[in-house]
Amino acid sequence: MDITCSLESTGSPTAIELEEKIAKWDDLNERACATIYLAVYDEVISHLHEITWAKEMWSTLKELYAPKDYVVRHRLVRELVTTTMANFSSVEEYFLFFKRYHTQLGDMGYPVPEWFLADLFLHNLGKSNEDLFSYII
């Protein structure tokens, strides 16, 4: 759905064309606002009741509920430390999990030393992979 007010080769859009585009935009905005209202808990609506633009509603929700940096760091570290090979169907999937979390923490400014990551990876392989651990060491 094109809702932009682009200039045509004949010049600016007419007043009627602009009114139609604004009406279409307003309709889409109302639908988006309604969808947001239906998706949030009743307690959250009080934060949104005076906002009339869906973009502003979304920004308000992001600001209210986006995890703070230290919360995200704690969650990532906890997942990294407590997740074992048993949570995955293959060693490759398990390795990619470690790689992703290592990258995310590094991007946040909290690099995990590679020696620690390797030790944690091997330790969390679990009892069923002790032979693999012994072979690697």
**pLDDT tier at 58, thresholds 50, 70, 90:** very high
Q: Considering the entire predicted model, what is its pTM?
A: 0.47
Instruction: Work out the number of other CB atoms within 10 angstroms of the CB of residue 120.
Output: 15
Q: Are 69 and 108 in contact (CB under 8 A)?
A: yes
**Domain extent listing, the chain:** 15-65, 69-136
> Comparing C-alpha atoms, which of 130, 104, 126, 102 is closest to residue 115?
102
pLDDT of 106-124, one tens digit each? 888 889 898 998 888 888 8
